[in-house]
């Protein structure tokens, strides 16, 4: 997010999205060739990869890049990191993944934590200290009167990038679920490489059709930032994410994306000298608690199911041994 945001003034969003995907997909496929991973062999496998590429690559990166032009990196992170909730619901409906009380509690705390981290300060103040004039509506206080009708509000949200980021989050959530089906027909790392290429090519077409001056203003530091976003932010991150998504709990894996705003704030402090507000430090703490609750929800549930007598007997047995 930091690398992409810094490059945007010198280039165009669809070009950045394409650069993040196609070269990264080539790198992943080269890795697959070197490690002897098998390529897709059936039409059904290619159809799943194509759907995967459309949703998780083209739509996600397209919405993300366009939204990042119109909003701040912090607020964008908040919208993007709402996707674990969608993943949790879809995983529950499609795969029967048990979320449980601790899991839902962790997801809720995570959303609240990233909200404290990334939402504008005036929104936080309005939510925590609503006055009589706001009628308790918090962040809606400062909406101008000209945006009173629904159509104008929708247009305003798109112009500010909020809904584009939300659409990106939903695309990522659906793509994460689709990856589970894709892995039934092809190696997940191979599918990751091909889906980035198939999803990135339409973004280059859109860039060539709708955008101009994509690379003419890019300097060495900008190309380095794009290279970082391509290699580390796409090739390595995508490959690892969908490899683990094919094997473990989608809910637990997606909850780790709550760390995105935490790292964004850390790097903002290191490279941009940005300081954290007290409520943002609280958000960081809540985010870490959230990830612990979601990933340890099964152990916590089993621990609470033990009766005091069982705990005492278990402790005595361990001591005797």
Select from 124, 113, 125, 107 the least CA-distant residue to 282.
Answer: 113
Q: Is the pLDDT of residue 42 over 70?
A: yes
Helix axes 100-118, 297-305, angle to 10 degrees: 130
Place of tokens 């509506």: 137
Q: Which of the two residues, 16 and 264, has the higher pLDDT score? A: 16
Q: How much of the chain exceeds pLDDT 70, in percent?
A: 62
Residue identified by tokens 């499609």 is: 94
- Residue 35 phi, psi dihedral angles, 5° rounding: -95, 0
Summarised one tens digit per residue, pLDDT across range 205-222 is 999 999 999 999 999 999
**What's the distance, CA 210 to chain centroid?**
26
Give the number of C-alpha atoms closer than 13 A to the C-alpha of residue 275, restricted to the C-beta side. Answer: 2
Residue 308: count of CB within 10 angstroms of its CB: 7
> Is-contact 295 99, C-beta < 8 A?
no
- C-alpha closest to that of 210 among 9, 14, 8: 14
**Tokens (6 digits) for 92:** 């529950």
Q: What is the pLDDT of residues 141-183, one digit of tens each?
A: 444 444 445 555 555 555 556 678 778 888 888 888 888 889 8
**Cα–Cα distance for residue pair 27/49, rounded to 1 Å:** 17
Q: Give the pLDDT of residue 306.
A: 52
Output the six-digit token pair for 174.
Answer: 């659906």
pTM for the full model?
0.68
| Integer CA distances (angstroms), 168 to 33, 125, 315, in order | 31, 27, 49
pLDDT category, 27, cuts 50, 70, 90?
very high
Higher pLDDT, 107 or 197: 197
**Phi-psi group of 8: left, alpha or beta (phi > 0 → left; psi -120 to 50 → alpha; rest → beta):** alpha
Please give the backbone phi and psi of residue 151, each rounded to the nearest 5 degrees, phi first.
-60, -45
Which residue has better confidence, 117 or 24?
A: 24
Q: Residue 71 is encoded by which pair of tokens?
A: 């909003």
Q: Confidence class of residue 193 from pLDDT cuts 50, 70 and 90?
A: very high
Structure-block tokens of residue 294: 């979601």
| Mean pLDDT for the stretch of residues 232-260 | 72
Distance between CA 155 and CA 144 in Å, rounded?
Answer: 13
| Cβ atoms of 235 and 28 closer than 8 Å | yes
Q: What is the band of 72 on the pLDDT scale with cuts at 50, 70, 90?
A: low
């Amino acid at each position: 997010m930091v690398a992409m945001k810094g490059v945007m003034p010198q280039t165009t969003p669809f070009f950045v999205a394409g650069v993040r995907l196609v070269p990264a997909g080539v790198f992943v496929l080269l890795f697959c060739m070197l490690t002897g991973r098998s390529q897709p062999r059936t039409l059904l496998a290619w159809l799943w990869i194509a759907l995967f590429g459309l949703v998780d690559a083209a739509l996600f990166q397209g919405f993300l890049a366009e939204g990042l032009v119109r909003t701040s990196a912090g607020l964008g992170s908040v919208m993007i990191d709402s996707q674990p909730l969608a993943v949790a619901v879809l995983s529950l409906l499609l795969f029967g993944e048990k979320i449980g009380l601790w899991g839902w509690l962790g997801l809720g705390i995570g959303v609240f934590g990233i909200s404290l981290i990334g939402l504008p300060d005036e929104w936080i103040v309005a939510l925590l200290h609503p006055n009589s004039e706001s009628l308790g509506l918090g962040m809606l206080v400062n909406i101008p009167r000209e945006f009173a009708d629904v159509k104008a509000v929708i247009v305003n949200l798109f112009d500010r990038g909020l809904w584009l980021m939300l659409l990106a989050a939903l695309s990522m959530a659906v793509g994460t679920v689709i990856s589970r089906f894709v892995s039934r027909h092809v190696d997940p790392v191979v599918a990751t490489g091909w889906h980035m290429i198939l999803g990135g090519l339409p973004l280059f077409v859109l860039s060539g059709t709708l955008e101009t001056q994509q690379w003419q203003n890019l300097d060495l530091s900008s190309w380095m930032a794009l290279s970082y976003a391509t290699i580390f932010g796409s090739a390595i991150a995508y490959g690892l994410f969908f490899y683990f998504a094919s094997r473990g709990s989608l809910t637990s894996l997606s909850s780790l994306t709550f760390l995105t705003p935490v790292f964004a704030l850390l790097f903002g402090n290191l490279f941009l000298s940005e300081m954290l507000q007290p409520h943002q430090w609280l958000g960081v703490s809540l985010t870490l608690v959230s990830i612990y609750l979601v990933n340890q929800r099964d152990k916590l549930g089993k621990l609470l199911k033990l009766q005091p007598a069982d705990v005492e007997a278990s402790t005595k047995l361990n001591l005797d041994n």
